[in-house]
Amino acid sequence: MKDSVVFLLLFFSSLLWSPTNQARLTVSPSSSQLFEYDSVSLSCEDDDSSAGWTLRRNTTTQQMTQCGVKWGRYTGSSCEIRFIDPLDSGVYWCESRKGPISNMVNLTVTGGSVILQSPVLPVMEGDDVTLLCETKTTPSNLPAAFYKDGSLIRKQPTGHMTIQHVSKSDEGLYKCDISGHGESPSSWITVTGQPSTTTSPTTSALATSEDQSQVSNPLQLALTLTRHLLVFCPYFISTILMVSLYREKPKDKEPLQNKRDDVTTEHNF
């Protein structure tokens, strides 16, 4: 019985402490826009190699397809797409057989002659961001005009523009134009807040609000419920088993006590 208790507790502890690390999808070259017939390599980076990450994508013609099936091929731990096509434009992410998914990356492939090289991953608030307006056949230091949400920001004589100390207000849809060559597609730049290093009543209230919003998500609710069940079950089961052991213990001693009483009675007689 004691061996069963130990086994059950170890089993549930392994469930509680099993890692749920989230992978990070990286892209090389690190650009959200690519020229047709270029090559690109995508990797799922994670410390837990046993998670079994699979690279998937959604495009206008394919949904939830994985690398190696109709598109791309694995070279080591990376998925490589050679001679990329505009039909390869879409959303890419890493997915684990354990459940979690990585950040999502939006890639745009153009058959035109101008692209805007912009960050693939979200930019941290306060960092500097450099945008490069590039042509396919000529040097990339040509004068270029940069636009945000359809409005002209500025014209740069060397084809690149740096946004210093980005903030949430810099988040938006960017594109560029090189006179005589054309206009690039548009790409969305996401700005995320700096991670908090101290805890205050305000941040605690915000964290509570975020937790409540996450619980409202059906998937998050299911995960939260499972987590609570895993925490509760070991204590519940161990309590039942201990009670069972306790109830069985007096029954084993009762015959011995009766024998002692009989011997005492006989001695008195």
pLDDT of 51: 63
pLDDT of 68: 92
Token code pair at residue 105: 């990356």
List, in order of start, the domains of the chain with CATH numbers.
23-111 (2.60.40.10)
Backbone phi and psi for residue 192, each to the nearest 5 degrees, phi listed first = -110, 155
Q: Among 38-47, 173-182, 229-238, which is the least confidently predicted range?
A: 229-238
pLDDT of 113: 94
Report residue 269's pLDDT band, with 50, 70 and 90 as the boundaries.
very low
Phi-psi region of 145 (alpha: psi -120 to 50; beta: other; left: phi over 0): beta
Residues 188, 106 contacting (CB under 8 angstroms): yes
Residue 113 C-beta-side C-alpha neighbours within 13 Å: 10
pLDDT of 154: 95
Token code pair at residue 18: 């099993």
DSSP for residue 118: -
pLDDT tens digit string along 71-90? Answer: 999 988 899 999 999 999 99
Residue 174 β-bridge partners:
148, 187
Please, what is the Cα angle at 259 between 254 and 261, to 5 degrees? 95
DSSP for residue 51: G
**3-class SS string, 217-255:** CHHHHHHHHHHHHHHHHHHHHHHHHHHHHHHHHHHHHHH
Q: Is the pLDDT of residue 143 over 80?
A: yes
Specify the pTM.
0.63
In angstroms, the CA 174 to CA 191 distance is 13
pLDDT tens digit string along 42-62? Answer: 998 876 655 678 899 999 999
Computed over every residue of the chain, the mean pLDDT equals 75
